C-alpha cells in the first residue's frame, strides 16, 4: 500500500508544482504590456528521495524558486545609456535655445549687425569728414548695442529658466530616492524570509530607469538586495536611508 500512496503523492506534488508554474506563466502573460515588468520563470527540482532496496526512489517534484529572467549586465548598460540619452536631450534643448539667440538665418542676427557696424567704420575711414558716414556709424553702433542688450536679456532668461528646471528635476530626484529607499527595505524583508522579491525589484528597476533619465549615478547592491546610489561619489541612497540632493550638486 505504501508504494501506491507514494505514487499518488508523486502525482499530487506534480499537479501542485505544475499548477504553480501555470500561475507564473499567467502572470507573465497578464503583464506583457506592463512597463518595467521582467518575465519570471518557475524552477523545478526533485524532492528528497526515499531510501529503498535496491536503491533510492524518487518522491516527486517541487518548485524551489520563481526567478526573474534578468541579465544584470545588460540592464546596467541600458541604465547607463538611458542616463546618456537624458543628458543629451537636456543639452540639446538648452543649446537649441542658445542657438536661437545667435541665429543669423533671417539676416538680423549678431553677425549681420557686426558686419554692418564694421562696414560703416570702413566707410568713415575712407571719408573721415563725411557727415552721412558719421551718422551711419552712430546708427550702426546703436543697433549693435541694442542687439547686445537684447541677446544678453535672452541669455539671462534662458539661465533663469534652466535654474528653475534644475530645481524641479532635483525635487523629482529626491522623490525617486525616497521611493527607492522604501523599496530597499521591502526587498530586504522578503529576501530575509527566503523569497525572491521579483515584483518589488521590477518596481525599483523602473524607478532606477526614471532616475537615470534625470541624473548620472552609479549603484551597487548588497547581499540583502538593497541598492546604494552614488552621485559624484556622494551617497544619495543607502539601504533604507535617502539623502536630499540640493542645488549645489551634493546630497545632504
Average pLDDT (230-236) is: 86
Position 175 confidence tier, pLDDT thresholds 50, 70, 90:
very high
Average pLDDT (134-163) is: 86
Average pLDDT (204-218) is: 88
The closest of 171, 252, 186, 196 to 66, measured between CA atoms, is: 196
Q: What is the pLDDT of residues 44-69, one digit of tens each?
A: 988 888 777 777 777 888 888 888 88
Average pLDDT (74-93) is: 81
**What are the residues facing 139 on neighbouring strands?**
none
Distance (Å, rounded) from C-alpha 211 to C-alpha 218?
11
Please give the distance of CA 38 from its chain centroid, rounded to a whole number.
17
Global model pTM greater than 0.85: no
Q: Are 158 and 94 in contact (CB under 8 A)?
A: yes
Q: Reduced to 3 states, what is the DSSP secondary structure of residue 217?
A: coil
pLDDT of residue 1: 40
Task: Give yes or no for residue 75 having a pLDDT over 70.
Answer: yes
Average pLDDT (204-208) is: 91
Distance (Å, rounded) from C-alpha 169 to C-alpha 246?
10
Q: What is the DSSP letter of 50?
A: B
Task: Give yes or no for residue 250 having a pLDDT over 70.
Answer: no
Among 18-22, 64-68, 200-204, the minimum mean pLDDT is found in 64-68
Q: Which of 18-32, 62-76, 103-117 has the highest average model confidence (pLDDT)? A: 18-32
Task: Give yes or no for residue 74 having a pLDDT over 90.
Answer: no
The closest of 239, 249, 177 to 208, measured between CA atoms, is: 177
pLDDT of residue 251: 61
| Domain boundaries of the chain, sorted by first residue | 2-69, 73-242
Distance (Å, rounded) from C-alpha 45 to C-alpha 65?
9
pLDDT of residue 10: 86
Amino acid at each position: 500500500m505504501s508504494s501506491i500512496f507514494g505514487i499518488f503523492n508523486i502525482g499530487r506534488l506534480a499537479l501542485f508544482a505544475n499548477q504553480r508554474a501555470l500561475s507564473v506563466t499567467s502572470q507573465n502573460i497578464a503583464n506583457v504590456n506592463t512597463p518595467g515588468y521582467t518575465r519570471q520563470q518557475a524552477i523545478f527540482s526533485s524532492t528528497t528521495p526515499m531510501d529503498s532496496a535496491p536503491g533510492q526512489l524518487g518522491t516527486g517534484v517541487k518548485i524551489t524558486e520563481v526567478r526573474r529572467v534578468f541579465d544584470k549586465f545588460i540592464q546596467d548598460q541600458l541604465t547607463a545609456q538611458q542616463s546618456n540619452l537624458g543628458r543629451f536631450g537636456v543639452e540639446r534643448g538648452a543649446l537649441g535655445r542658445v542657438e536661437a539667440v545667435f541665429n543669423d538665418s533671417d539676416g538680423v542676427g549678431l553677425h549681420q549687425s557686426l558686419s554692418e557696424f564694421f562696414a560703416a567704420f570702413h566707410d568713415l575711414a575712407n571719408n573721415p569728414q563725411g557727415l552721412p558716414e558719421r551718422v551711419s556709424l552712430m546708427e550702426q553702433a546703436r543697433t549693435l548695442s541694442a542687439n547686445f542688450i537684447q541677446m544678453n536679456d535672452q541669455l539671462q532668461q534662458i539661465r533663469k529658466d534652466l535654474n528653475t528646471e534644475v530645481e524641479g528635476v532635483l525635487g523629482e530626484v529626491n522623490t525617486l530616492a525616497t521611493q527607492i529607499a522604501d523599496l530597499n527595505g521591502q526587498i530586504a524583508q522578503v529576501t530575509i524570509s527566503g523569497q525572491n522579491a521579483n515584483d518589488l525589484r521590477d518596481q525599483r528597476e523602473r524607478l532606477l530607469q526614471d532616475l537615470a533619465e534625470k541624473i548620472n549615478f552609479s549603484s551597487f547592491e548588497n547581499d540583502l538586495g538593497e541598492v546604494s546610489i552614488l552621485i559624484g561619489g556622494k551617497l544619495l541612497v543607502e539601504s533604507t536611508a535617502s539623502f536630499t540632493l540640493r542645488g549645489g550638486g551634493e546630497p545632504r
